[in-house]
Amino acid sequence: MDLYLTLNIPLPITATSRSFIQYGSAQLMDRLLLVYVLDEKWLADRAEYLNLAVITDPWTRFEAIQAAANNVLLQTGLGRRVRLKVVIFQGQPRMAVGLASSVPNDRWPMPPQHVIDSVKCVLGVHYEPMWLPESI
């Protein structure tokens, strides 16, 4: 443990949805993210439709999904206001478009409604984003 502190490497943390760890004077709490979960099949289809990638095997499928997810972020036109994140949804890690964080120190506050509307338009959805735990 002293080696971690000497090298200034963060301690490995295994978190549950209600846990926190006291570390010095700060609390490291589970982070909830306001997100729209992205469906991998939809992303793969989007990548092929936009000619971002040709899917021939699992590796090229992964690359296509990444390219399509990045394309979604670019299409919103919101720059750093939205981020690509991995969250836990129905017990599984899933890619998501992140809009805000529940941790004030992240400096990623709740976005204005026009940001949410822009993401809805790109994704073609009519429902509001949800708060989910970030995958560690």
136 pLDDT tier (thresholds 50, 70, 90): low
- pLDDT, tens only, 41-69: 999 999 999 998 888 998 999 999 999 99
For the chain, domain boundaries: 30-133
Q: In the structure encoding, which two tokens stand for residue 129, read together?
A: 């984003």
Rounded to whole angstroms, how far apart are CA atoms 40 and 12? Answer: 29
DSSP state of 13: -
State residue 24's pLDDT score.
35
pLDDT tens by residue, 63-122 = 999 999 999 988 888 877 888 888 989 888 899 999 998 888 888 888 889 889 989 998
CA distance readout (Å), 41 to 32, 62, 86, 90, 92:
25, 11, 16, 17, 15
Res 28 pLDDT > 70:
no
Given pLDDT bands bounded at 50, 70 and 90, which one contains residue 126?
Answer: very high
Q: Considering only CA atoms, which of 129, 106, 107 is closest in space to residue 31? A: 106
